[in-house]
Amino acid sequence: MKLCDSVVKSFRVAKVFRDNTDKINSIDFAPNGESLISGSEDDSIVIYDCANEGKQKRNLYSKKYGVDNINYTHAGNTVIYSSNKVDDAIRYQSLHDNKYIRYFPGHTKRVVCLCMSPVDDSFLSGSLDKTIRLWDLRSQSCQGMMSIPGRPIASFDPEGLIFAAGINSEMIKLYDLRSFDKGPFTTFRLQQDKDCDWTGLKFSSDGKLILISTNGTVVRLIDAFHGQPLQTFMGHLNTKGLPLEASFSPDGQYVLSGSQDGRIHVWNSENGSKTAVLDGKHPGPLQCVKFNPRFMMLASTCSNMAFWLPTVEE
């Protein structure tokens, strides 16, 4: 089944889970698409089955340290996530026996972005302490660190060869992973957003596009090779400065964003036109929205988790 406008418009909520008592702040699909994990402000980590019955599989807690920016590793039964209380360390946890495998101390303020390499055990973190750090799951020691002038966002490209760092909501620097200590090989300077801050950065699956989400009413799309702005997506509601997630469909054809009124806005990434506004009756602002990388479904969250499926077949 291929994504097209009629399929996107046909997405409807198939299931709603009301397990959380507070906002779900981060979600991640396993690379094989068969499970989904969420982290919430209520300190819970919930694992959902996406392959068979679409149900909650397990509920774990990180009561002492909290949980944010949760990411699956390549193993599928381990995760990394940042703390949102007590300290600013990153935690590497086994889901199998619910035990910590390793801590990654170093950041001195809250971690605001965490990104697993698509190809190996390395990962990136960015913090309000104005550093981006490179790590390896196998070592507690930081593999490299960059100081930057402002709040960072960062992500690996799909091949795991380079990473992009968004700095101060006005520039993107591209680094070669093998020689990042030599500095960026390219810097794109964009017009600074006066009314909002950049809160997330993602590459499209072909590595040609970079999507920048903000805590305002715009989502930006830029060319990953030359840095020129391609689209500015607008129309979703965000008057409270919320870091609403924006993401690509797996084929890069569409861009999705949550909205303060609980709806999903979908745009065509090539021409910038609005494809659909999907209303799943979320009672609160829609914080996270992601397409499953393998199956034709998407997930969205406020304090509830909703699974969406298309109702037409092409």
Please give the biggest Cα pair distance in the chain: 51
d(CA 130, CA 235): 31
Selection from 47, 49, 89, 99 nearest residue 72 by Cα: 47
User: Is this structure's pTM higher than 0.75?
Assistant: yes
Q: Which residues pair with 47 in a beta bridge?
A: 37, 58
What is the pLDDT confidence band of residue 184, given thresholds at 50, 70 and 90?
A: very high
Whole-angstrom distance, CA of residue 139 vs CA of residue 145? 15
pLDDT (0 to 100) of residue 127: 95
| Token reading at 27 | 């979600």
Do residues 57 and 37 touch, judged by C-beta distance below 8 A? no
Give me the pLDDT at residue 80, please. Answer: 97
- The pLDDT, as a whole number, for residue 99 is 92
Q: Which residues contact 53 (CB under 8 A, 6 or more apart)?
A: none
**Range from 40-49, 55-64, 147-156, 201-210 carrying the lowest mean pLDDT:** 55-64
From CA 203, how far away is CA 218, in angstroms rounded?
A: 17
The predicted structure's pLDDT at residue 85: 87
What spatial distance separates the first Cα and last Cα of the chain, rounded to whole Å?
A: 7
Domain residue ranges of the chain, discontinuous segments joined by + = 5-23+112-310
Collapsing DSSP to helix, strand or coil, 65 comes out as: coil
User: Residue 118's closest CA among 223, 203, 209?
Assistant: 203
Q: In which element (H, E) is residue 5 found?
A: helix 5-9
Q: Residue 149 — pLDDT band, cuts 50, 70, 90?
A: confident
The structure tokens listed for 97 are 């026996």
d(CA 227, CA 146): 21
Question: How would residue 313 be classed by pLDDT, with cut points 50, 70 and 90?
Answer: low
Burial class (CB in 10 A: 0-12, 13-18, 19+), 284: middle
Measured between alpha carbons, how far is 130 from 135 in angstroms, rounded to an integer? 16
Task: Calculate the average pLDDT of the chain.
Answer: 93
Contact residues for 44 (Cβ-Cβ < 8 A; gap 6+): 19, 20, 59, 60, 61, 62, 67
Whether the per-residue pLDDT at 204 is higher than 90: the answer is yes
CATH number of 5-23+112-310: 2.130.10.10
96 Cβ neighbours under 8 A, 6+ residues apart: 77, 78
User: For 227-258, how does the pLDDT look when each residue is reduced to its tens digit (9 = 90+)?
Assistant: 999 999 999 999 999 999 999 999 999 999 99
- Range 276-296 average pLDDT: 95
304: helix, strand or coil: coil
Please tell me the predicted confidence (pLDDT) of residue 62. 85
Return the percentage of the chain with pLDDT > 70, whole number. 99
- Neighbour-count burial for 175-191, b at 16+ CB within 10 Å, e otherwise: bebeebeeebeeebebe
pLDDT in tens, 48-61: 999 887 888 888 88
Could you give the percent of the chain with pLDDT greater than 90? 83
Phi/psi zone of residue 147: left (φ > 0), alpha (ψ -120 to 50 degrees), beta? beta
- Among 95, 124, 115, CA closest to 36: 95
Cα separations in angstroms, 170 against 32, 76, 153: 35, 35, 11
Tens of pLDDT along 74-95? 988 999 999 988 899 999 999 9
Q: What is the pLDDT of residue 14?
A: 95
Give bridge partners of residue 167 from the DSSP assignment: 152, 171
Q: Please state, in angstroms and as integers, the Cα–Cα distance from residue 126 to each residue in 123, 182, 201, following that order.
A: 10, 19, 12
pLDDT band of residue 209 (cuts 50, 70, 90) is very high
